[in-house]
Amino acid sequence: MVKEIEIYSESEMIALGHRIGKLLDKNMVIALTGDLGAGKTTLTKGIGQALGVESTINSPTFIILKVHFGRMPLYHMDVYRIGPDSGDDYLEEYFEKEGVAVIEWAENIAHLLPDSYLGIEIKNLGGTKRAVRLSGNNPKYEKIIESVIV
């Protein structure tokens, strides 16, 4: 299933993340793709808010992984600087650690992603306008897509 929505502001992106975050369960994986500055971290802030995370969510670019705690752990990854030969295969363990894994630049570790995940592609349409494309190949992710995009 694939659905698309247009977002017109940073607050709308956070709100979308919040709606998604409210529906997440343990061991769910969200694979984010999009150009630099598209809104991946902003969306993650909304997800974190819905999970009850109180710590600051910002891009973990130089340390790859930040763990935030709320009603369940949020494993926030930025894998911009890694690839198939980087030796970062340990990241895969966070997909099944009783939390939610949100991966920015997920295409860089496509070889590690589980068979099913919620894919979110964000395209910058100019200014603060964004096209957000959600995809899922599993009933649990399809249910989220249907719930957040009417």
- Write down the pTM of the prediction: 0.94
pLDDT tens digit sequence for 105-128: 999 999 899 999 999 999 999 999
Domains delineated in the chain = 2-82+89-148 (3.40.50.300)
* E-only strand ranges, 8-139: 28-34, 65-68, 74-78, 100-104, 118-124, 130-135
CA distance 112 to 136: 17
pLDDT tens digit sequence for 85-94: 776 667 889 9
